[in-house]
Amino acid sequence: MFNVQYSMNLDRGSFASKVGIILATAGSAVGLGNIWRFPVETGSNGGAAFIIIYLACVLILGIPMMTAEFIIGRRTHTNIASAYQQLAPGEPWFLTGYAGMLCVTLILSYYSVVAGWTLKYAVSSALTEMSTVSDTAAYFADFASSTWSPLCYSIIFLLITNLIIERGVEHGIESFSKVLMPVLLLIMGVLVFGALSMPGAKTGVEYLLKPDFSKITADVVLSALGQAFFSLSLAIGCLSTYASYFKDDVNLGQTAASVVSLDTAVAILSGFIIFPAVFSVAGVQPDAGPGLVFITLPNIFNHVFGGLPVLGYIFSLLFYLLLVLAALTSTISMHEEVTAFIYDRYQVSRKRAASVMTIVSIILSVLCCLSIGPLKDFTPFFGMGFFDFFNYLTAKFIMPISGIFLCLFVGWRLKRELVVEEITNKGTLPVPAWVCSLFIFFLRWIAPVIIALIFVNELGWG
Ligand code: PFF
């Protein structure tokens, strides 16, 4: 019954260098989740205390789960659905792969809308339009709720993603990540330096470094866990797809540790950009919610640098460019997961596979865009429109459930020898036996229980 055919393109490509692997995979992880969502979550959940819980989550869950995803992809060198099918033939595990592909498709459709906003803000900053806006809240509301402009920006974003994907793994994803990620890190460095010289820097840094443990509640812990999952692109097949292009000598555990470290560093650095800026203007609160980046910050860029508008111009342009690059490396990875499935399974060219995924994403993205604008009263999904519903369904349901299945699959279903072979690269890496045992124990007993607890609590059943 579950005997689905899988096939493999012989020439599906691979990443050429280890640096390329780390930068491309970190590119998937580093995105709007770090620079937009992380500061919002930190601001809404009390600052430093949230960051400590977040760090615990990425270290405890992030590294082992990312390694587990890598094992599935690198072992099979195929797309996520076929990978499960190959590792557990005739069993329904492959449905986890399909759930992952559905999840990235839905995430991509609303993510590309926000990515489109970042592009619009980068363009407006470049054209100096941003610096003349006096009411940034009205500016954002007018733009996001209009019909054509946000729609065009998100479509442009998806078309750029398509162009990079079409070029293949080595010449598209890897080459672009090798340029985009260092540029991104450089821009971050400049912005952190700039933010730390703002008048509110001291208060902002204290906010990030001095935890108030009375702020830690069950809700804060759950938000931190949810944020860790989203930020690391965990559990929905994206990382397995990238790992299917890894060569056999790549150290999976070490790669996971490097990617998790880079992703976490970028999240924390964005805190060091945003909060010093936020505290530089009297009366602005750090818990401004999702509007922090699109309403509060432009306001700050215009005010703090009032005396020296050129600095405001540079800061604003660099900041939104940073968001565009971060979002782009993430949309590429989401797009690739489904593109890989289409070309592996249907043996079509990469170009054709990519265009099918692009067309589907554009259609869904248009629905998400319109649900914030002209269709905002159309709320058929439990009172939610497309944008909110896709966000809710993916973050609260599909991601945690897929995460549990991922752990159970690698912990219980895969043979211990296979898992050990992948972690140690067939015995060529000096990974001690107790590390392998701990890893498997963790995936069997600890991670699924933690995720199940989040899941139940987030649904309000806890
Ligand atoms: N990790 C990305 C971010 O932080 O923006 C978002 C993401 C990418 C989520 C890829 C899921 C995914 F499969």
pLDDT tens digit sequence for 175-185: 999 999 999 99
Helices (H) and strands (E) in the chain, counts: 23, 0
Nearest Cα neighbor of 114 from 38, 32, 26 is 32
pLDDT of 384 reads: 96
Q: Residue 397: is it exposed, middle or buried by C-beta count within 10 angstroms (0-12/13-18/19+)?
A: middle
Nearest Cα neighbor of 295 from 126, 154, 144 is 144
Ligand 1: atom nearest CA of 31 is 5
Q: Looking at the chain, how many residues does it have? A: 462
Q: How many Å lie between the centroid of ligand 1 and the Cα of residue 294?
A: 20
Range 18-459: architecture per CATH: Orthogonal Bundle (1.10)
Q: How many Å lie between the centroid of ligand 1 and the Cα of residue 225?
A: 14
* Ligand 1 pocket, mutate which of 103, 236, 334 (most atoms under 8 A from CB): 334
d(C-alpha 376, C-alpha 107), whole Å: 19
Q: How many Å lie between the centroid of ligand 1 and the Cα of residue 95?
A: 21
pTM to 2 decimal places = 0.94
Ligand 1: atom nearest CA of 236 is 13
Ligand 1: residues with CB < 6 A are 28-29, 31-34, 104, 107, 230-231, 233, 236, 238, 330, 333-334
Q: How many Å lie between the centroid of ligand 1 and the Cα of residue 134?
A: 33
Q: How many Å lie between the centroid of ligand 1 and the Cα of residue 326?
A: 10
Q: In percent, how much of the chain has pLDDT > 90?
A: 77
Q: Does 449 score more than 90 pLDDT? A: yes
Ligand 1: atom nearest CA of 100 is 13
pLDDT of 4 reads: 44
pLDDT in tens, 342-362: 999 999 999 999 999 999 999
What three-state secondary structure class fits 156? helix
Question: Atom 13 in ligand 1: which residue has the minimum CA distance?
Answer: 233
pLDDT of 199 reads: 83
Q: 149 or 217: whose pLDDT is higher?
A: 149
Ligand 1: atom nearest CA of 237 is 13
Q: Where are the domains of the chain?
A: 18-459
Q: How many Å lie between the centroid of ligand 1 and the Cα of residue 29?
A: 5
pLDDT of 454 reads: 73
Question: Atom 12 in ligand 1: which residue has the minimum CA distance?
Answer: 233
Question: Atom 10 in ligand 1: which residue has the minimum CA distance?
Answer: 233
Q: How many Å lie between the centroid of ligand 1 and the Cα of residue 275?
A: 23
Q: Report, in angstroms and rounded to the nearest whole number, the Rg of the chain calculated over CA atoms.
A: 22
Q: Does 120 score more than 90 pLDDT? A: yes
Q: How many Å lie between the centroid of ligand 1 and the Cα of residue 115?
A: 12
d(C-alpha 328, C-alpha 345), whole Å: 26
Question: Atom 9 in ligand 1: which residue has the minimum CA distance?
Answer: 233
Nearest Cα neighbor of 260 from 102, 60, 417 is 60
For residues 322 and 188, the answer to whether their CB atoms sit within 8 Å is yes
pLDDT of 460 reads: 63
Q: Does 73 score more than 80 pLDDT? A: yes
pLDDT in tens, 132-155: 898 999 999 999 999 999 999 999
Ranking 207-211, 288-292, 344-348, 412-416 by mean pLDDT, the lowest is 288-292
d(C-alpha 213, C-alpha 125), whole Å: 39
Ligand 1: atom nearest CA of 263 is 4
Ligand 1: atom nearest CA of 337 is 13
Q: How many Å lie between the centroid of ligand 1 and the Cα of residue 261?
A: 15
d(C-alpha 204, C-alpha 23), whole Å: 29
pLDDT of 318 reads: 94
Neighbours of 294 (CB within 10 A): 23
Ligand 1: atom nearest CA of 34 is 4
pLDDT in tens, 375-387: 999 999 999 999 9
Q: 461 or 29: whose pLDDT is higher?
A: 29
Q: Residue 7: pLDDT band by 50, 70, 90 thresholds?
A: very low
pLDDT in tens, 266-321: 999 999 999 988 888 767 778 777 788 999 888 888 877 766 788 889 989 999 99
For residues 228 and 54, the answer to whether their CB atoms sit within 8 Å is yes
Q: Does 220 score more than 90 pLDDT? A: no
